[in-house]
Amino acid sequence: MHRLSWQHLQQNCQYYVLTTVTLHLLLQLKHWLSSWILTALPVERQRKLPRRLDDNPSSAATTLSSSDQLKVSLYFSVLDRLLSELKERFPPQLTDFAFLEPQHYNTLDAEERVRRLAKTYGIDEAAAASQWRLSHHLVPTTASVHEAFRLLPHTYTELRRLYNGVS
């Protein structure tokens, strides 16, 4: 399994945060484009289909309005490509590091992510998760990652190893 170093995380953390926000915005943009912008396009005149083609289910799929054609051929394909490139650029393991930040302590699946990160680095999962839960009382949620590491007691060896990214 590919291991990420703490230095790698520090170098890419800002990219990750920016990309996460960008990914969220792109998803919102995709929804917005499908519901608002494309409704302003001129409506193409609907032609009446001959009676012999009305019962054919495949004929309905071939007649798209100009706004639907634009959605399919341009907007959705561009947005899907952007989303896939962003997902490919940042590996899922990188998201696990975000839960070491104090501001993410109360996220629903944070403990599960800390356990997965500990498993990735060959650290005792139960001890790391326990120390992580106890650290909530020692580290304010406004602290940075570096301040959180500094405030951790030296007896929290497993959690400190996670913050260091040492296997």
Q: Domain tally for the chain?
A: 2
Domain boundary among 56, 74, 90: 90
Which helix H or strand E contains 103, and what residues bound it?
none
pLDDT at 33: 65
14-48 confidence digits (pLDDT tens): 555 556 667 677 777 777 666 655 555 555 666 66
Residue 80 lies inside a defined structural domain of this protein: yes
CB 115 within 8 A of CB 128: yes
Please name the residues in contact with 135: beta carbons below 8 A apart, sequence gap of 6 or more: 148, 152, 156, 159
Q: What contacts 109, CB < 8 A, 6 or more positions away?
A: none
The answer to whether the pTM exceeds 0.75 is: no
- Note down the domain range covering 23: 1-39+64-90
Looking at the structure, tell me whether residues 84 and 97 fall in a common domain.
no
CB-based contact 65:94 (threshold 8 Å): no
Handedness of CA 7, 142, 112, 130 (dihedral sign): positive
Q: Are residues 16 and 85 in the same domain?
A: yes
79 and 129 fall within a common domain: no
